[in-house]
């Protein structure tokens, strides 16, 4: 059982390699911001919390390090990788091109059954959006993005995207925290579905490329706001300290 107040959360063991189960569990918490950028991961405490040994835990952290979601610090352990603004711009520039290509190919390759499945996922996602249910919305959103990539039929495109997926997911979740961007993103999903129904490859590509570009811009805005908030907190702390020191004299 996880200690009360633990940031790591409880782990449910699934029927898959333990290292993969652990990496999926931690990735989910990092994506949702439960483990913040820059947070240190104390391996002994984390192993106890999850109820696993350090061997599969290290395997899991290696998976996340390859995705650049966590960082190994020489002699200082592991931390959640910071989200850097310049990297965010470059990341979503590439993601937008890859997913735009996937949507273009999917528009001409989707069969009736595959399109019907996407329609079902889209309908469920819209229901969650209208009820303001962010987490289930995000889960279905991620499935839709994955299905479109799969429908592209291009294994190299999918594997290239897969290496960036974890980092992009953190950003995509940050973006929908903003209510205006969330509404805009839902509208873009509606537009994509119309392009897929019409098998309009050019429109699908441009809609999906624009969708990911807008997401990247929203992530950068969130990062800038977070930086400003952190700076204000530091400045406020310094000011409070100065006031206390002045009052003591």
Is 52:72 a contact under the CB 8 Å cutoff? no
CA distance 40 to 79: 4
Q: 180: pLDDT confidence band, cut at 50, 70 and 90?
A: very high
Q: Are residues 73 and 112 both part of a single domain?
A: no
Q: Are residues 137 and 167 both part of a single domain?
A: yes
Give the model's pLDDT for residue 177.
85
Q: 246: pLDDT confidence band, cut at 50, 70 and 90?
A: very low
Structure tokens at 13: 């063991």
Residue 36's domain comprises: 18-80
Strand order in the sheet with 77-80: 40-41, 77-80, 70-73
- Tell me the pLDDT tens digit for each residue of 9-57: 655 555 568 889 999 899 988 888 888 888 899 888 889 989 999 899 9
- Tell me the pLDDT tens digit for each residue of 54-112: 899 999 999 999 888 899 888 778 999 887 888 888 999 999 999 999 999 999 999 99
CA distance 3 to 49: 7
Q: What is the CATH number of the domain that holds 55?
A: 1.10.10.10
Q: Are residues 66 and 168 both part of a single domain?
A: no
Mean per-residue pLDDT of the chain? 86
Q: Report the 10 Å Cβ neighbour count for 111.
A: 9
Q: Are residues 139 and 210 both part of a single domain?
A: yes
Cα–Cα separations (whole angstroms), residue 205 to 89, 135, 226: 19, 26, 32
Give the model's pLDDT for residue 75.
77
Say which residue, 248 or 201, is predicted with more confidence.
201
Q: What is the CATH number of the domain that holds 114?
A: 1.20.120.530
Q: 121: pLDDT confidence band, cut at 50, 70 and 90?
A: very high
Q: 124: pLDDT confidence band, cut at 50, 70 and 90?
A: very high
Is residue 12 in some structural domain? no
- Tell me the pLDDT tens digit for each residue of 139-179: 999 999 999 999 999 999 999 998 888 888 888 888 888 89
Query: Facing residues of 213 across strands?
Result: none
Give the model's pLDDT for residue 223.
81
Q: Which of 124-128, 186-190, 236-240 is predicted least confidently?
A: 236-240
């Amino acid at each position: 059982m996880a200690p009360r107040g633990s940031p790591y959360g409880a782990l449910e063991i699934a029927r898959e390699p333990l290292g993969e189960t652990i990496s999926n569990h931690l990735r989910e918490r990092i994506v949702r911001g439960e483990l913040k950028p820059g947070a240190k991961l104390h391996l002994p405490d984390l192993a106890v919390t999850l109820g696993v040994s350090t061997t599969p835990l290290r395997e899991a952290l290696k998976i996340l390090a390859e995705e650049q979601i966590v960082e190994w610090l020489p002699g200082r352990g592991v931390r959640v990788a910071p989200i850097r603004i310049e990297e965010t711009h470059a990341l979503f520039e590439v993601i937008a091109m890859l997913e735009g290509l996937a949507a273009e190919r999917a528009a001409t390759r989707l069969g009736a059954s595959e399109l019907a499945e996407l329609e079902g996922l889209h309908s469920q996602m819209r229901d969650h959006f209208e009820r303001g249910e962010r987490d289930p919305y995000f889960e279905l959103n991620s499935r839709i993005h994955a299905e479109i990539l799969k429908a592209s039929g291009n294994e190299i495109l999918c594997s290239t995207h897969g290496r960036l997926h974890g980092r992009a997911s953190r950003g995509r979740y940050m973006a929908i925290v903003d209510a205006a961007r969330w509404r805009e993103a839902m509208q873009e999903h509606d537009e994509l579905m119309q392009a897929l129904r019409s098998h309009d490859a050019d429109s699908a590509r441009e809609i999906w490329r624009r969708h990911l570009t807008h997401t990247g811009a929203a992530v950068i805005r969130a990062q800038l706001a977070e930086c400003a908030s952190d700076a204000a907190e530091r400045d406020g702390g310094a000011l409070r300290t100065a006031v206390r020191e002045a009052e003591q004299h």
